[in-house]
Structure 1
Amino acid sequence: MSKNSFHGVLCPLVTPFADGTVDEASLSTLVDWLIEHDIDGVVPCGTTGEFASLSPAEFRTVIETTVDAAEGRVPVVAGVAGTDIQTVSERIEFAASAGADAVLLTQPYFHTAPTPAGNQQFFETVADGSPLPLVLYNIPACTGQPIAPETVAAVADHDAIVGLKDSSGDFDYFLELLRVTDDEFTLLEGYDQHFVSGVHAGSDGGINALSNVVPEVFAEIRDEAFGGDTHTALEREQEAFPDLFGYCMEYGFATVAKAGLEHRGVIDSAEVRPPLVSLPDDVVTDIHHLVGN
């Protein structure tokens, strides 16, 4: 697999639940629906997939169900975040055995003072033993700090480290990554409202939570942005995303995406797990209006 194999709009899947358990049927339906709506890849067990609320057995179920549903039609990039190398490596081995195409990896979280050198060592140690390509995942709101640009530049030449998803919302940071990495290193914008700006600046696309609920809008924006019609793409992005994205920032991406998906009849339940909670009724009504039918 080349370093630039991921392009366009990849969807960080929600994990549907029914009566407290993973709803495999709804997950399969979601994957199929997204592919029918021209999404370029799927990402199970990410932040929007509530990976931190899944048991080890559920993690395996979600990965296997996603790979089976995708049927090789689009790449599957499995989230494997963890705080120790052994656990992360075991998750990668499982993702490989299940048929995933790559994995998405945060830097270790919870540690109060990880250094750039320590994060670099973590990534390189995992990558040295990985049977799958690694896409790094910068989400400082959850890990406590960003992946330093110098760390990204240092590991970008590793054969197994093929790209990075940036969910920081700091566009200057994203531009710096474009500057310090070459064209073979895949950069994906994780902040939905920066998708078009990222493409215009030179990104390869994005991994965007709202593509769960409005994949057809994302597909149109992708085609316009990569086709050079930046003005139309920006107008469409600014019309479609700000209110939905605002709710996501306030209540959580999984919560909002599930409310929209239940309304559109793609999944059977908007159920989430603590610490996430159900949305207020007035917010649900607004989300239903915003996502349409």
Structure 2
Amino acid sequence: MDLTEALSGITCPLITPFEDDSSRIDDAAFTDLIDHLLEAGIDGVFPCGTTGEFASLSREEHSRVVELAVERVDGEVPVLAGAAATSVHDAVAHAETAAELGADAAVITPPYFHTANAPEGNQQFVEQVADRSPLPILLYNIPVCTGQRMEPETLAAVATHENVIGLKDSSGDLEYFLSVRRNTPDEFLMLQGYDALLVPALRMGADGGVNALSNVAPEQYTELHATFDDSRGEELQDAIVPLFDACASYGFGPATKTALEYHDVIPSDAVRPPLVEVPDEGREAIGEAVDGLLESGD
């Protein structure tokens, strides 16, 4: 599998379905979700990311989610396994487990809680993980969760590492995204993670997207990627925005699960603390936004 080519499309950062009381992962719902995505032509899957509530999973659950994804995908599309951690040792351990389970790449953020006191700290962290990882590394910039961004200069420095393949940027800062793109090699994948900026980013040279709402509307996302440069792409982008805004209000994990439950893809929208389910007043707005997005594909 040519990983760079395979990821130049839409990759779905998978939710992790739980049973109603959230005490257990719902294996059947998870594999049904992947079926829903593969049937729609999604280009890759990303278990154990932010939308997948990785920080609320035990180590055993984290491995189980990756294992389920690899087994169900069965080589049809690449599996990018979340490997975010606050230490080099733990990030490498996640990558090693993912490799043993058959994943194609590992995804890391800069360390959270203990953030870098100088840009060189994040550079050293990435390089040390990449040196030791048995899998290619995709970097993940999400400053709202990590408390810091990966500076363009840092990314330019690590982009030449043979084991670093690209960046998922969920900052929502298009100027930042373009700055990174200008200062990294052409083969360094630039993937837009902020759904509301997907069409602008693709028009400015992004390779693809890693988008939470592709869980809900994978057909629309794959069509958007194919039509981003014409009016159809703009229509689909406009249809995404109301649901994206609802997710921004209620949190991407909870709101995406509510949308999937509304769409009868999963049986429960249960989440784990500190997340809470979408309140009743938000469910109607999410349902209307889902209907509008899905109708845009007709």
Matched residues in 2 for 1:45 and 1:192: separation? 19
The aligned residue for residue 88 of structure 1 is 91
Question: Is the contact between residue 160 and residue 185 of structure 2 (CA under 8 Å) also seen in structure 1?
Answer: no
Describe the superposition over 1:223-246 as per-residue Cα deviations: whole angstroms up to 9, x where unpaired: 102xx32x32123201x1222111
Matches within 5 A, 1:59-74: 59-74=62-77
Question: Is the contact between residue 116 and residue 122 of structure 2 (CA under 8 Å) also seen in structure 1?
Answer: no
Counterpart of 1:83, as a letter, is T
Whether 1:54 and 2:53 are equivalent positions in the alignment is: no
CA 112–131 in structure 1, closer or farther in 2 if over 3 Å, else same: closer
Describe the superposition over 1:25-53 as per-residue Cα deviations: whole angstroms up to 9, x where unpaired: 11111011101111110000000000010
The aligned residue for residue 109 of structure 2 is 106
In the alignment, structure 2 segments of 5+ residues that lack a partner are: none
Task: Please give the root-mean-square deviation of Cα atoms over the aligned residues, in Å.
Answer: 1.3
Describe the superposition over 1:128-186 as per-residue Cα deviations: whole angstroms up to 9, x where unpaired: 01111100000011111110001100011111000000000010000101100121000
How far has the Cα of 1:108 moved from its partner?
0.6
Question: Is the contact between residue 13 and residue 49 of structure 2 (CA under 8 Å) also seen in structure 1?
Answer: yes
How far has the Cα of 1:17 moved from its partner?
0.2
Matched residues in 2 for 1:136 and 1:8: separation? 17
Whether 1:235 and 2:225 are equivalent positions in the alignment is: no
Counterpart of 1:78, as a letter, is A
The aligned residue for residue 284 of structure 1 is 283
How far has the Cα of 1:78 moved from its partner?
0.6
Whether 1:223 and 2:226 are equivalent positions in the alignment is: yes
Residue aligned with 1:118, SS: helix
- Tell me the matched-pair count: 289
Matched residues in 2 for 1:271 and 1:21: separation? 10
Matched residues in 2 for 1:118 and 1:2: separation? 31
Aligned-pair identity (%): 51
- Please say which of residues 171-180 and 241-250 is displaced more in the overlay: 241-250
The aligned residue for residue 14 of structure 2 is 13
Question: Is the contact between residue 109 and residue 142 of structure 2 (CA under 8 Å) also seen in structure 1?
Answer: yes
2:210 pairs with 203, 207, 211, which one? 207
Matched residues in 1 for 2:209 and 2:97: separation? 25
How far has the Cα of 1:281 moved from its partner?
1.4
Whether 1:140 and 2:139 are equivalent positions in the alignment is: no
TM-score by length of 2: 0.94
Question: Is the contact between residue 11 and residue 44 of structure 2 (CA under 8 Å) also seen in structure 1?
Answer: yes
Matched residues in 2 for 1:104 and 1:112: separation? 18
Matched residues in 1 for 2:171 and 2:287: separation? 27
How far has the Cα of 1:3 moved from its partner?
6.7
Describe the superposition over 1:63-83 as per-residue Cα deviations: whole angstroms up to 9, x where unpaired: 001111111111100111000
Question: Is the contact between residue 246 and residue 285 of structure 2 (CA under 8 Å) also seen in structure 1?
Answer: no
CA 186–51 in structure 1, closer or farther in 2 if over 3 Å, else same: same
Matched residues in 2 for 1:113 and 1:183: separation? 27
Matches within 5 A, 1:151-230: 151-225=154-228, 228-229=229-230
Matched residues in 2 for 1:262 and 1:290: separation? 13
